[in-house]
Amino acid sequence: MKVLKTLLITGLLCAASSVYGDAIPVITRVEGSVMVSLNGASHTPESGERVEWGSVITTGENATVTLETPDGSEITLYSHSRLMVDASLIESRPRVILSYGTVFQKVAKFFSRMVSFRVFSPSAVCGVRGTEFYVEAGLDGSSMVYVKEGKVEVGGELLKAGEALEVIWKDNGWFKRRKRMEKYAPGAWARKHHTLPRDIVRRLIESDRVNLKEVEKRLRESLKDGKVAEGRAGDLVKAEIDAGRWMSRLMLLSSKPWKERLGPRAKAFVKKELKRTQKIAKRMRRLPVRVRHAVEREMRLVNIPHKILERYLSMKPEERRQLIQRLKKWKSLTPEQRARVVRNYIRFKKMPPKLRKRIIENYKRFIKLPPEERRRILQLYRKWKQLPPEERERLRQRFREMKQKKKHMPPRKKGRPPKPRHR
């Protein structure tokens, strides 16, 4: 029995290490001029080579490179493109940070049911669950997402197969435009947006700027003694999203086409911010397995789409803890109890606003009562529910009559009642 237990524990540990340690993608196909950079060193990759976390891949003209992860997902980078492959916080799966160019993702459906696969571009964050889609980013910071199969969530918009979403700069802000595409040619959209307008530097640095001090503070507060407090996993996910989005812009500004555009001050700022963002990425890469498990458990429990994720992440830790407790209570209910709760909720939503307001006020008053008083009220309510319908209707009618009589009674004078006169 002990031997069997040891074998089971060993198997589970191996499975955990395969999910969290060996999720590094492997290059399966290389065509044309491709360069892989890591820690300042660059080289030409070969088929079968592992791409370490933090590696930056750059492709030249008429070049493509395909990466494959152990779960069966594929990442294909087209010509005139640049991206970083890094570890995701959840499941330690790859997160793709595209600075410019075109990338195609084919995400494995089985493994992506639990947690979204995220792709970052200078002006968009995509959350997907088992799908095939393209992301294109121009040198001007604009982005476009085209869905070939499945569903993709981009900034609150849910795209289906054959649909595309453009994020372009218009009237001093990022503007989203949704459309349907019958024909799609990879890389054609990005080539149209390879121009560099005059105000491009100010646009990319100042619009939706990420405060790295806040990101670092969030990391420090959420991690204590190598553990994540309940409700704090959302802070780690928010830090990952903010750092990934900012990293994409900084990579774009530090790329070759931008070297002549940036002034000395802008170059120094981009270099400094890029170093800080890379430090944050390294710190998140080194998080222990138990932390990743805690984040995965909370995200799986919440199980909310990217559209509502931003609202969840913007909550305070105390609000998130309360929500998690309610979700745990909901998960512990039987199917019959859940059905009853849903029926009551539907009934509540159909009620007039005045009645809903009164119910909420009564509930607030009820929870402020002492426990003995609440128990007494619940016992009376159970007795009420056991009465026959005729008796309940009779009591209701009597209560209405008493209420009507009370309306016609003269108003009670304030102060002490007058003393009775003795004859």
pLDDT, tens only, 86-138? 887 765 567 889 999 999 988 876 544 444 577 888 888 887 766 889 999 98
| Torsions phi, psi for 131 (to 5 deg) | -165, 175
In this predicted structure, the answer to whether residue 5 has a pLDDT above a threshold of 70 is no
Confidence class of residue 305 from pLDDT cuts 50, 70 and 90? low
346-368 pLDDT tens trace? 888 889 999 999 889 988 898 88
Q: Do 45 and 34 contact (CB within 8 A), yes or no?
A: yes
In this predicted structure, the answer to whether residue 9 has a pLDDT above a threshold of 60 is no
Rounded Cα–Cα distance for residues 375 and 340 (Å)? 22
User: What pLDDT is recorded for position 66?
Assistant: 93
Q: Is 266 exposed, middle or buried (0-12, 13-18, 19+ CB in 10 A)?
A: middle
User: What pLDDT is recorded for position 13?
Assistant: 36
User: What pLDDT is recorded for position 22?
Assistant: 52
Q: Per-residue pLDDT averaged across 302-306, rounded?
A: 56
Rounded Cα–Cα distance for residues 153 and 170 (Å)? 22
Lowest mean pLDDT among 31-45, 249-263, 329-343, 356-370: 249-263
Confidence class of residue 196 from pLDDT cuts 50, 70 and 90? confident
User: What pLDDT is recorded for position 412?
Assistant: 66
Instruction: Select the more confidently predicted residue: 308 or 4.
Output: 308
User: What pLDDT is recorded for position 399?
Assistant: 84
Rounded Cα–Cα distance for residues 226 and 412 (Å)? 66
Count of helix runs (H) and strand runs (E) in the chain: 13, 18
Confidence class of residue 174 from pLDDT cuts 50, 70 and 90? confident
User: What pLDDT is recorded for position 35?
Assistant: 92
In percent, the amount of the chain with pLDDT more than 70 equals: 85
3-state DSSP assignment of residue 392: helix
366-380 pLDDT tens trace? 888 998 998 998 898
Q: At 389, which amino acid appears?
A: P
Which structure tokens are listed for 320? 């998130």
Pick the closest to residue 323 from 335, 313, 336 (CA basis): 313
In this predicted structure, the answer to whether residue 293 has a pLDDT above a threshold of 60 is yes
User: What pLDDT is recorded for position 16?
Assistant: 40
Angle at the Cα of 301 (from 17 to 53), degrees rounded to 5? Answer: 35
User: What pLDDT is recorded for position 226?
Assistant: 72
User: What pLDDT is recorded for position 111?
Assistant: 46
53-97 pLDDT tens trace? 889 999 998 899 999 888 778 899 999 999 998 887 765 567 889
User: What pLDDT is recorded for position 292?
Assistant: 78
Instruction: Select the more confidently predicted residue: 271 or 419.
Output: 271
Q: Is 48 exposed, middle or buried (0-12, 13-18, 19+ CB in 10 A)?
A: exposed
In this predicted structure, the answer to whether residue 332 has a pLDDT above a threshold of 80 is yes
| Torsions phi, psi for 10 (to 5 deg) | -60, -40
228-267 pLDDT tens trace? 777 777 788 888 888 888 888 888 888 887 777 788 888 8
Average pLDDT of the chain to the nearest whole number: 80
* CATH architecture label of 21-296: Sandwich (2.60)
Q: Can you name the residues that pair with 96 across neighbouring β-strands?
A: 85, 119
User: What pLDDT is recorded for position 315?
Assistant: 78
Q: Per-residue pLDDT averaged across 153-162, rounded?
A: 82
Identify which of 148-157, 315-324, 387-396 has the greatest average pLDDT.
387-396
User: What pLDDT is recorded for position 413?
Assistant: 63
User: What pLDDT is recorded for position 31?
Assistant: 92
Which structure tokens are listed for 348? 């509540």
The angle, 0 to 180 degrees and rounded to 10, between the axes of the packed helices 233-253 and 317-332 is: 120
Lowest mean pLDDT among 373-377, 381-385, 410-414: 410-414
User: What pLDDT is recorded for position 128?
Assistant: 72
Q: Tell how far CA 402 is from the center of its chain.
A: 55
In this predicted structure, the answer to whether residue 2 has a pLDDT above a threshold of 50 is no
In percent, the amount of the chain with pLDDT more than 90 equals: 13
